[in-house]
């Protein structure tokens, strides 16, 4: 088996996960803007907490994978655990608004093509 190709694939997936997390951060910022424009009916203080927590949680993969260039298995587990924690945080604050986001950790885990990551996300 060619481990160099597998390592390159994991590195590419790590960068993709970081990019997807940045896109989700932009999406959350758009939801915050829509809340300020009274398109969504969400309390402004709660939305500001969500935006601040989102920016912290969603830019950690970019820092790990793109800035520090850490491509280890522990970082992948950490990021997937962080995503599950982030979705739980969103659900606790927004309740039914984020039900579709429950699929987000599973989608990210499936990018790695490893069953152990999907089992890990399921267990969390």
pLDDT in tens, 24-83: 999 999 988 998 998 888 888 888 898 999 999 999 999 999 999 998 999 999 999 999
With CA atoms as reference, report the closest residue to 52 among 63, 41, 44, 40.
44
Long-range contacts of residues 71-75, Cβ cutoff 8 Å, at least 24 apart: 71/7, 71/10, 71/11, 71/14, 75/14
Average pLDDT rounded to a whole number, residues 100-105: 88
How many whole angstroms separate alpha carbon 94 and alpha carbon 50? 9
The per-residue pLDDT for 46 is: 87
Mean pLDDT taken over the chain: 90
Q: Does the structure show a pLDDT above 90 at 15?
A: yes
| Whole-number Å distance between alpha carbons of 42 and 80 | 27
pLDDT band at 1 (very low <50, low <70, confident <90, very high): low
Residue with tokens 């039900």, as numbered in its chain = 99
Provide the pLDDT for residue 23: 95
What's the pTM value of the predicted model, to 2 decimals?
0.88
- Determine the pLDDT at residue 113: 85
Coil/strand/helix, residue 113: coil
Q: Which long-range contacts (CB under 8 A, 24 or more apart) does 12-16 make?
A: 13/111, 13/112, 14/61, 14/65, 14/71, 14/75, 14/76, 15/65, 15/66, 16/111
In the chain, what percentage of residues exceed pLDDT 70? 99
How far apart are the C-alpha atoms of 90 and 84, rounded to whole Å? Answer: 10
- Average pLDDT estimate for 2-20: 89
């Amino acid at each position: 088996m060619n481990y160099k190709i597998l390592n390159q694939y994991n590195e590419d997936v790590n960068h993709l996960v970081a990019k997807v997390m940045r896109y989700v951060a932009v999406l959350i910022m758009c939801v915050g803007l829509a809340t300020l424009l009274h398109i969504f009916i969400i309390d402004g203080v709660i939305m500001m907490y969500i935006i601040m927590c989102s920016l912290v949680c969603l830019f950690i993969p970019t820092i790990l994978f793109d800035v520090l260039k850490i491509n280890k298995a522990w970082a992948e587990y950490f990021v997937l655990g962080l995503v599950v924690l982030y979705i739980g945080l969103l659900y606790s604050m927004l309740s039914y608004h984020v039900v579709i986001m429950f699929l987000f950790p599973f989608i990210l885990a499936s990018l790695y093509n490893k069953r152990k990551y999907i089992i890990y996300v399921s267990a969390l």
